[in-house]
Structures are given as C-alpha cells and as structure tokens.
Amino acid sequence: MRKGVILHPIINQLLTETGHTDTIVVTDAGLPIPIGLPHRIDLALKEGFPRFLDVLDTVSADLIVEKIILAEEVKAVSSAMHDEIIRRFPDTLVEYVPHAQFKEQTKNARGAIRSGEFTPYANVILVAGVAY
C-alpha cells in the first residue's frame, strides 16, 4: 500500500499496483533485472547517477515496507553501504540471503528499479507492508 505520491509515471504505477507482501527490487547498475517482470525501470544515466540511496529513499518514502532482503555479501564487501541501508530501516525486519539466492528471488518481484550505483551489492528487495 502506498503512503504518498511519486512523479515518475511508471514508478507511480508500480507502487500503486504493489500490495501486501509484494516485492520491489531497487538495484545498483550491475544487477541483472529478470526479463518478464511486470515493471523494469532503468534510471541509470551514468556511473553514480542516480545514486542507489536516493532511489531507495524516494521509493521507500512512498511505500510501507515490512521487511528488506539483502545479499549477505554486502556486509563484508560494501559495509558502509550496508550500514546506510540498515540505518534507513531501523524498525524493519532484515533478511540476508546469499547473492545467488537474492538474484533468484528478484524473479518474483512486481518490479525492479535500476540506479546508476557502482557500489557492489547495493541492492535491496523491499517487501511491502500494509497500513492497517
């Protein structure tokens, strides 16, 4: 369920169609986005733009998130990014899975939004919550 309004029409549609327990993937520039997802939104314009954290902040400000899923490798390989992601979701359940499993789970997402981020493992699966 949505909390507010986003200007990008396809992201707006994705968030509007997302229901409780549906998932949305916010990715770095390198994560393969599965073919066949209902929404494949590629915002990457150049290295670092838009930043992963800016995309994540914008999407999560407009979505109730009950859980996030991260690749366990992010803790060791990109610890600063890991800490920034966790800081944004202080009261949210966090699940860690191996990166290969993470990529498999993206195939079941309602959609994926690619950023221009070049930080390894800067990817998150957002599990939608409900307002009541």
Provide φ and ψ at 101, rounded to 5°.
Answer: -70, -40
Q: Exactly one of 8, 20, 82, 99 is catalytic; name it.
A: 20
Whether residue 8 lies in the annotated active site? no
Cβ burial, residue 26 (10 Å; 0-12/13-18/19+): buried
Residues 6+ apart with CB under 8 A from 29: 44, 47, 114, 115, 116, 117, 118
Which residues are CB-contacts of 61 (< 8 A; sequence separation ≥ 6)? 3, 4
What positions carry a catalytic annotation?
A: 20
